[in-house]
Amino acid sequence: MNKLQVLESAKRTLQIEADALLGLQTYINNDFETIVNIILNSKGRVVITGIGKSAIIAQKIVATMNSTGTPALYMHAADAIHGDLGMIQKDDVTICISKSGNTPEIKVLVPLLKTSGNVLIGMAGDMKSYLATHSDYVLNTTVETEACPLNLAPTTSTTAQLAMGDALAVCLLQQRNFTSQDFARYHPGGALGKRLYLKVKDLSSNNQKPEVAKDDDIKRVIVEISSKRLGSTAVVDNEHLVGVITDGDLRRMMEKNENFSTLRAVDIMNSQPKTVEASAMAVDALALMKQYNISQLIVVDKNKYAGIIHLHDLIKEGII
């Protein structure tokens, strides 16, 4: 294949899959709403199973559900018929995924799932298949053709399965009134979660707290900025913030004054420093830094100086 053919092949693949996804909209019917309500009202979990590539899709849907408020469990179809059926409890809802709906493992597994008395939802690409005709409810993921030019490798079909799983998870999320705070609770270690729960004070409290008085001399200012290693110091009067001095302010002072031994902090400070509340979200501090093109903000708590948050703090936590 030459360059043009490669590009055309990629575009063709995306177009085939995009068309298939749009076609899934015609399969969203009353059964879909019933399935959402069954899962929503279930006292158990959603156990999702499949074989081959469908098993991989099952794992991803399980992960999406778990992270958006719907307890779910993955069970490989082959392992299920060799002991893993014990995972399923009486109140669980089962979803079995298969493109053909007629693989040997599925034909063995479906009767066993039905025997347990759990609601069985089939996700199938053939509505006349064994899986589709023996399920209590069916999510139709029929596609006309695979993106694979041989029409063999699961491509369009697995994309359809994944999208249908997303549609189900999103509906459940909305029905549960799942919030960004809930999302953060389930993702405390990830960058996405940190953006939703980390506050300014959580980061600034780990830093030193440089501060000088208005009448402190320049030597004291330099020592404070240098020793605390944050590139700036607050100027404080009775715990109240009155200004800020950055290392940039020091450089500009030296350029303008040959003799600065008589200068005091009040003479070179910025009396209108950019601040952020300690209770604000860390991501809001990042927005302010971007807005003003600065690398640190003075943190205040009820109008009192509370510390400094630096761009490096946000980078370290993966918020950027």
Residue pLDDT, tens place only, 6-34: 999 999 999 999 999 999 999 999 999 99
Q: What are phi and psi of 100, to 5 degrees?
A: -80, -30
Q: 62-99, pLDDT tens digit by residue?
A: 999 998 999 999 999 999 888 888 999 999 999 999 99
Shared domain check, 72 and 167: yes
Residues 40 and 170 both lie in one domain: yes
Please determine, for residue 228, whether its predicted confidence score (pLDDT) is greater than 70. yes
Shared domain for 157 and 228, answered yes or no, is no
Split at pLDDT 50, 70, 90, the class of 316 is confident
The reply to whether 228 falls in a domain is: yes
How far are the Cα atoms of 5, 21, 58, 99, 159 from residue 17, in angstroms, in the given order?
Answer: 18, 6, 19, 15, 7
Do 247 and 100 share a structural domain?
no
**Of 147, 178, 209, which residue sits at a domain end?**
178
Q: Which domain holds residue 19?
A: 3-178
* Residues of each annotated binding site for Zn(2+): 76
Note whether 152 and 239 are same-domain residues: no
Annotated binding-site residue numbers? 76
pLDDT one-digit tens code per residue, 102-136: 999 999 999 999 888 899 999 999 999 999 999 99
CA dihedral sign, ordered 80, 81, 83, 87:
positive
For residue 22, the domain's CATH number is 3.40.50.10490
pLDDT for position 27: 96
* CATH code, domain carrying 307: 3.10.580.10
